[in-house]
């Protein structure tokens, strides 16, 4: 992921079928470190899927409490950044 972010990869792009951004995908899978890296890269945390869900909602629906906590902190303006452990 760090290689993609250091290149010209568009981390805001959503897939056509479900409208998932990389942030939604990381939230779905519970990849807290990836969520932190994407947030540090400036992704839109308010982006919606084709079903109208934010990454926070996706994390909550899938019981990824750590990811949900990070996203809530970002929304409140406080997040710790770090890339360790991001696949």
pLDDT at position 7, please? Answer: 47
CB atoms inside a 10 Å sphere around CB 74:
18
Mean pLDDT score, 67-81: 81
6-43 pLDDT, tens digit each: 545 666 676 667 889 999 999 999 999 999 989 988 89
Who has greater pLDDT, 86 or 73? 73
pLDDT at position 17, please? Answer: 74
What pTM value is reported for the model?
0.78
H helix runs in 20-63, sequence order: 22-29, 32-40, 55-61
Please give the radius of gyration of the chain, using alpha carbons only, rounded to the nearest integer: 12
Cβ burial of 71 (10 Å; 0-12, 13-18, 19+) is: buried
Contact predicate 37/1, CB 8 Å: yes
Who has greater pLDDT, 53 or 3? 53
Sequence-separated (6 or more) residues with CB below 8 Å from residue 73: 79
Q: Which CATH number fits domain 2-75: 1.25.40.20, 3.40.190.10, 2.60.120.380, 1.10.287.3510?
A: 1.25.40.20
């Amino acid at each position: 992921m760090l290689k993609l972010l250091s290149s010209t990869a568009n981390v805001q792009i959503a897939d056509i079928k479900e409208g998932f951004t990389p942030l939604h995908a990381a939230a779905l899978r519970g990849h807290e470190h990836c969520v932190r890296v994407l947030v540090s890269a400036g992704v839109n945390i308010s982006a919606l899927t084709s079903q109208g869900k934010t990454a926070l909602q996706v994390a909550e629906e899938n019981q990824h409490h750590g990811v949900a906590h990070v996203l809530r902190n970002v929304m409140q303006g406080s997040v710790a950044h770090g890339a360790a452990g991001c696949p």
